[in-house]
Every structure is written in C-alpha cells, then in structure tokens.
Structure 1
Amino acid sequence: MPVDQIPIGTFSRITQLSLKALRLYDERGLLVPAARDLCTGYRYYTFAQIERGIRIRHLLWLGFGLSEVEVILDARSRGDVGVICDLFAQRLAATEQEVRRLHVIAETLRLQDPLNGGFHMSITEPVIKEIPALRVLSRREQGVYQETIPRLIHELCDCVYPADGRQPTARIAGPIMFICHDEEYRETDADIEVAIPIVGPVGIDASGVEVRNLPGGRFASVLYTGPYPGVGKAYERIFAYMGEHRLIPAGPTRELYLNDPHEVPEDELMTEVLFPVLEAPRSA
C-alpha cells in the first residue's frame, strides 16, 4: 500500500464518518476514494481527503442535509460565497426557530411538573517523541464516546482516591488518557480504553479495572487546544506530517487530557494526540 493511501477503516475513525456513510458518499460522488483494490474493491483515501471528510462531518453536525452539503462543497470549489452564505443563513434561521420551539416546550414542561422543578482552536506543529512504557490503571469497554469516556475516568479516579476517605496508596504519574482500539469510527459500540499512569500499589474493587503495562515506542505528537469535538483537526495535522515524512500508523492512538473541563473554558482545553508510527518501507 502506498504511504499516501489510508484504508477506509482508518479514514472512518479519523473523520468520524461510519463505513456505511462513506460508501453512500462514494455512490453519490460526494467523497470518492482515491483508489480501489481491483480484486477486493476495498477503498483507500489520501491524506488530502481528510479535510473534505471532516468538513462533511462538520456540516452534517450543523444540521445540513446531504443535498445541502453537496451544494455547499460544490459552491466552495467554485468560490461562490453567496450560495454558501444563503444556506448558512437559512440553517441559522431554522436553528433559532427550533431553539425557540424547544424553549417553549421546556417552559411548558416546567410549569406542568411543579414537583421536579466553527471551533476556536490551536494546534502545534507535529513532533516525534520516544515514549517509555507506562504502568497504568486501565478500564476498557464498548460504548458511546461522550458518555463512556467521562464515566470510565470517574471510575478509575475512584480507585485511586477511595470515596470512603482511605489514604490512597498509588500516585497518579501522568495525564489521564483515552486509547482508541477501533479501526473505524463507531457511533454506539466504540472500543474505548481509559488509562491513568500510576506508581505504587493500588487496591482494585471495581469490576473491569486492571493494572497493566502500556507499551512505549515512537509517536507522532501534536498539542490541540480547543473543544473536544474539534480534535479531528489534530489527526488531520498528524496525517499530513506522516505523509511528508514517510511514516505509517503502528498501533492505537492516544489522547492525553492535560487539564480539567470542569476548571477551564472549552476553548482552553488541552489534548495531546499521540500516534504510534513506523518508517514506511521503501519501494523496490
């Protein structure tokens, strides 16, 4: 596989577009793979297509339908700002109308139940780091990212700082991290591992929590500052760097959370993205 080709599963995970969606976008001509295996029909994308994939995902998140996304991307390729501004104005008006509708519903429910009362971001230039092996407290399960990651973090922290007030025996030795084991983006059954580097003994009462050694190695690293949903731009930067330096992925990615979302505004959240890499083999 050429170094500038990304398998559909990896492309799915980076852009957060499901395989089903990518196949649909291929059929519609919205996001056509750069290459296809002649024998298997397996799709491959390029580093340059990551931006378009993330843009599609962002427009869908804003509430545009696929037909509108096609119009916006076509207008963008032609430099037709007027069409794009009109569609965004229409979407804004529809969103504000929906907000007003939901506000009315919320107020109605509150009165009837008296008993129950474009991201701002920055990304550093990628660097290569040699990361040592780490002893971590870990929990891994399937679920939805937005719900599962915060819950697993809370459960692991409870193991280190017992709720009954006992003195902790282990000490946290690094940032909390999320490790992604999927080859593709999954909406409801993502393979999620959360880990905390520790030193010292730890008593484990929670089911599914274990102490394990996390392998070290050579990693491409970028520091992303901004809301968590925009972290895909960090992966885009890393993949561009990997393409320029003939590097290929070599294992699960890690996201290290360097500050607390309860203590800083969203646009000040700091996430280090680590991608294990190897030198791409030279063509004969």
Structure 2
Amino acid sequence: MKFDRIPIGKFSLMTQLTQKALRFYDRKGLLVPAAKDTFTGYRCYTYPQIERGVKIRTLSWMGFRLDEIATLLNAEDCGDRELIGEMMQNRSAQNEQEIRRLAKIQQILLKQTDTLELFSMSVSEPTIKEVPEMRVISKRELGSYEVTIGKLIGELFAFVEDSNNPRNNIKLTGPCMFICHDEEYMETGADIEVAIPVSGNVCVDDFSVNVETLPAIKAVSAIHRGPYHEVGTAYTYLFEYMDEQGMELAGPSRALYLNNPDDVPEDELMSEIQLPVNLKE
C-alpha cells in the first residue's frame, strides 16, 4: 500500500514530541513508525499517526503514566468507553488531591514564617511507651495508602454495624489503626492492614474479617496534628530520634487515628505514630 512518509524530524514538529520521546515510544510499542529504512533504521510516519501522537502528548501532559496511556489508547481502539471514563475519573480524583496539596503549600509560603519551625510544631516530642497486647478485628490487602486504608476502614465499620448479624456483640476498645507491613514506602501494591481493637463476641461467618491479637510492643511514639498526607513529617521525626538513640525498628509501624475526619477540619486531625523498637537493657 502506498502512503505518505513523514520523516521523524517533521513528525516531531507536527506532534510537538521530541525525537528522543518518539524513539522511546517506538521501543515501548506505543507509537511505532509506519516504516523504517532497512539499512539506516531511519523512521518514517504517516499522517493518520499524527492524531495518535497528539493524543499521547496530551495524555502525558494530563498526568497519565505511560502504561496508563497505552491502556487508554487500547480502550479507544476497542470502543471501551467505560474503562476510559473510569480512568479519567481516577485521574480527576488524583488531580483534586494534588490541588489541595499545592494549596496547602501556598498557604505555608504566604505566611512567610520559618517552615521548619512550623512543621516541628505539628508533631509532639517522641516518647517511649509500653503498648499492651490487644484483640482486634482486621482486614489486610495490597493497594495504595490513599485509597486502600479508607476502603478497609469503611468495610470494618460496616461489619461492626451490620444489623443482619445478631450474634455480634462488639464493643470498640480503642481507635482504628493502620499497620504497615512493608519495609519501605510503596506507591502501589503496599501491604496494608487496618485494625480496630474490640471486646465481646465476634462472629465473622462469611465476612473476610480477621480476629487476631496484636502483640505487646515497646514503641517510640509521637502525635501528629494535621492532614493525613502530611503525616510523613512524624515518621521522619521519629526515625531521626531512633537513629540518635541507637534504636532499630522491631516490627510493623502503627498509625492510630485519634479523631474522625467527618467531625473535625483537616488541620485538626490527630494521628499517633508508633514505631516498635528494641530497647537496650
């Protein structure tokens, strides 16, 4: 079939994609040139490929990752509008979160204060405490912190409040907590467990809810005041303290949610971070 060949340089100008990006998209199979010279490897494109190139550039500008762009383009080829809509909604939610983060940063910058002092004020001084063993109901799965923690909390409270299970006689004995089973921060695929301390009769039946006893621990603890996405400040503070004291982490960290985000403003949220440690005798 005869077609108009567009050299890579001209195609780069038409799509506003660099030649380096075009070669990368070629290797990834995302935008493969219609023809390549057998001897020189010189790439040529066709006019119908211009639209695909522009879509790739636009989707990248919107914040989609390369694998997401490939999925979106494939969904368009297959006519899967539902998948496209779902991915656009997810991207929108992520953008809203980023907008809130940037707005918070702008507030801090406009205050023209010592930001290091401001951050330290949001975290209490570290303390060492004995945390007794506790019986909990819990759920555990892989996911992202932003989505999965809230999802599991909702599922656990739905289980507690389930009126269709009269054999449950559950009393909450402590705040809901997030237990981190990973040894590093994970953008996706994090090993997340959410637990609620309870007493009384618990009948799990067919629910994917666990009943377990968390071990007693010695922990370095601090209280963080402010939005959940800023709680990393407390972790940094505690790990620096542990390093100064020659302590090492001795188990999964715990984050206890001390008040309800439905009841207080974001800036007044309270979280207690507990890092299990081995103390020198």
TM-score bracket, shorter-length normalisation: 0.5 to 0.7
In the alignment, which residue of structure 2 is the partner of 1:264? 264
Q: Is the 8 A contact 2:259 2:270 kept in 1?
A: yes
Give 1:151 deviation, angstroms: 1.1
In the alignment, which residue of structure 2 is the partner of 1:169? 169
- Change beyond 3 A, Cα 1:213–1:170: same
- Are 1:192 and 2:196 an aligned pair? no
Q: Distance in 1 between matches of 2:248 and 2:151?
A: 32
Give 1:255 deviation, angstroms: 0.2
SS in 2 for 1:242: helix
- Change beyond 3 A, Cα 1:224–1:212: same
Give 1:279 deviation, angstroms: 3.2
Deviations 1:139-165, CA, capped at 9 Å, x for gaps: 100011111111111111122111549
RMSD: 2.5
Q: Aligned AA for 2:152?
A: L
Moved over 6 A (4+): none
In the alignment, which residue of structure 1 is the partner of 2:146? 146
Give 1:167 deviation, angstroms: 8.4
Q: Is the 8 A contact 1:159 1:205 kept in 2?
A: no
TM-score of the superposed pair, with normalisation by structure 2: 0.55
In the alignment, which residue of structure 1 is the partner of 2:209? 209
Q: Aligned AA for 1:195?
A: A
In the alignment, which residue of structure 1 is the partner of 2:239? 239
Aligned length: 168
In the alignment, which residue of structure 2 is the partner of 1:38? none
Q: Distance in 1 between matches of 2:164 and 2:209?
A: 18
Unaligned runs of at least 5 residues, structure 2: 1-62, 64-94, 100-104, 109-117
Q: Is the 8 A contact 1:159 1:206 kept in 2?
A: no
Q: Aligned AA for 1:144?
A: S
Q: Distance in 1 between matches of 2:246 and 2:206?
A: 43
Q: Aligned AA for 1:204?
A: V
Q: Distance in 2 between matches of 1:205 and 1:265?
A: 37
- Change beyond 3 A, Cα 1:214–1:165: closer
SS in 1 for 2:277: strand
- Change beyond 3 A, Cα 1:264–1:165: farther
SS in 1 for 2:278: strand
Q: Where in structure 2 are the equivalents of 1:53-68 lying within 5 Å?
A: none
SS in 2 for 1:200: strand
Give 1:195 deviation, angstroms: 0.1
SS in 2 for 1:170: strand
